Amino acid sequence: MAQHKVNYTQDGGLPVALTSIDKIVNWGRSNSLWAMTYGLACCGIEMMAAGASRYDFDRFGTIFRASPRQSDVMIVAGTLTKKHSEFIKRLYDQMTEPKWVISMGSCANTGGMFNTYATVQGVDRVIPVDLYLPGCAPRPETLQYGVMLLQKKIRANSANKSQKPKRLM
């Protein structure tokens, strides 16, 4: 296993680190991505597995919240039906800025194998999506990697207030 060692005496023992506002804000945002509990179908099981002890989302600072008002990222895990589409839009609107969306699995990406009248052919028809995860269902590792990519995306962007909220139209 990897040997971790934290050197508390570097920089002459000074408890000081220099950084920029952007970096410190994005560090906070990217390492405390609270996800909304949004398991719509079988992908939700993989999402739960990613959150449980074997894969353990908590160590990324990703904690599942039951309320959109407390969450930063919506992981759409599963098939979105047309009947439910208005509610996903409402929940997305209730999340506070900044917010991100991960579309998890084939069904959320494109409607997947449900080429029918009752399935929304991709959640990006309803809400703006930041990250698409392929797979049916994606393994928990895929979701972990997706969250890491999202962290990377957050760190790459400016944390400035003038950044405009995303919207479909």
Binding footprint of other proteins on the chain (CB under 8 A): 1-3, 17, 19, 23-24, 27, 30-31, 82-83, 85-86, 89, 106, 110-112, 115-118, 120-122, 125-126, 148, 152, 155, 168-169
SS3 of residue 44 by DSSP: helix
User: By the 8 A CB rule, do 120 and 80 touch?
Assistant: yes
Q: By C-beta, is 42 or 130 nearer to other proteins?
A: 130
Q: Tell me the longest C-alpha to C-alpha distance in the chain.
A: 66
- Least CB distance from residue 48 to other proteins, whole Å? 25
d(C-alpha 40, C-alpha 44), whole Å: 6
- Pick the closer one to other proteins by CB: 48 or 85: 85
CA 50 to chain centre: 12
Toward other proteins, which CB reaches closer, 48 or 86?
86
C-beta of 6: minimal distance to other proteins in Å? 9
Residues 52 and 50: their CA atoms lie apart, in Å, by 6
Nearer to other proteins, 54 or 117 (CB): 117
Q: How far is the CB of 108 from other proteins (least distance, A)?
A: 12
- To other proteins, the closest distance from the beta carbon of 117 in angstroms equals 3
CA 38 to chain centre: 11
Q: Is 75 helix (H, G, I), strand (E, B) or coil?
A: strand
